[in-house]
Amino acid sequence: MLFALGITLFYLIFVWAIFFKFKLLKFSIVWGVVSFWVGAHLLLIFLVTLRFYQPYSIDSHVVRNTIQILPKLTQPTILTEVLVTPNTPVKKGDPLYRFDATVYQNQVDSAQAQLVAAQQNAKILDENVKAMQEAVIRAEAQLAYAQTEQVRYATLVPQGGAPQDDLDRWNEQVTEDQSLVLEKQAELQKALLAQQSTIDGVNTAVAQATSQLAEAQYFLDNTTLYAPEDGMIVSQQARPGLVVGDVRLGAIAAFVTEDNPYILATFRQQNLKFVKPGQEVEVALDLYPGDILTGTVETVWWGTGQGQYLPSGMTPSFILPKPPGKIAVQIKVNVPDGYLFPAGGHATVAIYTGGATSFDFLRRINIRLYSFGNFIRPLDI
């Protein structure tokens, strides 16, 4: 800074001495233009230094995260109550909107009934297994008796102790009882398979009914929408009677969050050569003329829309002249208690990179002049 001031002062003294003190050259319009041209170029020292080491942006705005309030309902549902006042802070978990829950309560009741029925059916499957096991035991006992009689009559008939018809009857009975045993064993296996149809030890029908109940309860719970974070609804357009559900695709409100607001300032790309996270920032918020807020650089958004192409069947086309896209810098601001920091609020920012610090006071004067100028600008009284 002192070097630049020294050069400028030396040049002014040099011009004064040549043309006015010693009158070595006669001052004329031509010499005046030349002297001004050289002097103007000397002033570029200040312009270039401020531009690179103390970049300045008037295209800066307060950014707050927003959450789209979108009802998650499966049926056309009427909004019955609006529980939130616009532009009034609410806490996380406060109710915002309530919808008609009749259909969803009925679905919960039906799912609960299906769950009870599935649980009872699971118990019936256990009893069926026991009954089939007993049936197999009875069939096997009956087969064993028939086989005993078959052996006994097979001995008596050759000796003339019993007619051949009795032996034939027991032979048929053994065959019939063997078929019965196989039938009952198959029924037992079927009952066991039904009983063993489980997921993590829970009967599949019970698991399915439990899942359906949970889904029905989920949609019932969503008939009341709650604040996802601390914040507020800025523009309240939803009114009782609004129908939402599968006939509506968009959100019904935008919820502006309270946490982590920041300023997004755009700069010409060449001005960011020395900008890095953590550097000091001063902010002049239009809402508070005459005040200067402090902050730090959080990050530089190294990307612009000109560097993004969407998939398509068209090849890129280039039209000149095309203005270079600006780069955004995210800035964390120290907001004093009691100050508003509205989303979209306009501001001017100055970044102090730490280089050529002797020039800092020029930029500090610059941003303060802008801030005080907000008392009278724009002239639209």
Q: How far is CA 83 from the centre of its chain?
A: 24
Across the range 4-19, mean pLDDT stands at 52
pLDDT of 11 above 50: no
pLDDT of 29 above 80: no
Across the range 261-278, mean pLDDT stands at 95
What average pLDDT does the chain have? 85
As a whole number of angstroms, the distance between CA 258 and CA 94 comes to: 14
Which residue in 331, 321, 335, 323 sits closest to 288, CA to CA?
Answer: 335
pLDDT of 9 above 70: no
What residue has token string 């002033």? Answer: 43
pLDDT of 76 above 70: yes
CATH number for domain 104-218, candidates 1.20.1050.10, 3.40.50.12170, 1.10.287.620, 3.20.20.70:
1.10.287.620
Across the range 200-207, mean pLDDT stands at 85
pLDDT of 59 above 80: yes
As a whole number of angstroms, the distance between CA 203 and CA 127 comes to: 14
pLDDT of 3 above 60: no
Q: When comparing pLDDT for 279 and 30, which is higher?
A: 279
Query: DSSP character for 90?
Result: B
Query: DSSP character for 94?
Result: -
pLDDT of 222 above 50: yes
Q: What is the pLDDT of residue 358?
A: 80
Q: What is the pLDDT of residue 171?
A: 84
Q: When comparing pLDDT for 351 and 323, which is higher?
A: 351
Q: What architecture does CATH give domain 55-64+261-308+318-381?
A: Beta Barrel (2.40)
Per DSSP, helices labelled H in the chain are 2-16, 29-53, 102-159, 164-195, 204-221, 360-373
Contact (CB, 8 A) for 111 and 212: yes
pLDDT of 83 above 70: yes
pLDDT of 1 above 50: no
Q: What is the pLDDT of residue 105?
A: 95
As a whole number of angstroms, the distance between CA 292 and CA 285 comes to: 7
Q: What is the pLDDT of residue 217?
A: 95
Across the range 193-210, mean pLDDT stands at 83
Q: What is the pLDDT of residue 17?
A: 57
Burial of 136 (0-12, 13-18, 19+ CB in 10 A): buried
CATH number for domain 66-100+223-257, candidates 2.40.50.100, 1.10.1200.10, 2.60.40.420, 3.60.21.10:
2.40.50.100
pLDDT digits (tens, 9 = 90+) for 350-360: 999 998 888 89
pLDDT digits (tens, 9 = 90+) for 360-378: 988 999 999 999 999 998 8
As a whole number of angstroms, the distance between CA 123 and CA 130 comes to: 11
- DSSP helix/strand/coil, 82: strand
pLDDT of 42 above 70: no
Q: What is the pLDDT of residue 40?
A: 59
Q: Where are the domains of the chain?
A: 1-53, 55-64+261-308+318-381, 66-100+223-257, 104-218
Lowest mean pLDDT segment, chosen from 17-31, 57-71, 87-101, 211-225: 17-31
What percent of the chain has pLDDT above 70? 87
Lowest mean pLDDT segment, chosen from 68-72, 149-153, 309-313: 149-153
Q: When comparing pLDDT for 15 and 153, which is higher?
A: 153
pLDDT of 328 above 80: yes
pLDDT digits (tens, 9 = 90+) for 138-170: 988 888 888 888 888 788 777 777 788 877 788
Torsion angle of alpha carbons 206, 208, 214, 216, nearest 10°? -120
pLDDT of 55 above 50: yes
Contact (CB, 8 A) for 283 and 349: yes
Across the range 285-311, mean pLDDT stands at 92
Contact (CB, 8 A) for 327 and 300: yes
pLDDT of 62 above 90: yes
Please give the span between the terminal C-alpha atoms of the chain, in angstroms, as a whole number. Answer: 40
Across the range 287-305, mean pLDDT stands at 94
**SS (HEC) of 114-146:** HHHHHHHHHHHHHHHHHHHHHHHHHHHHHHHHH
- DSSP helix/strand/coil, 359: helix
Tokens of 183: 């039938």
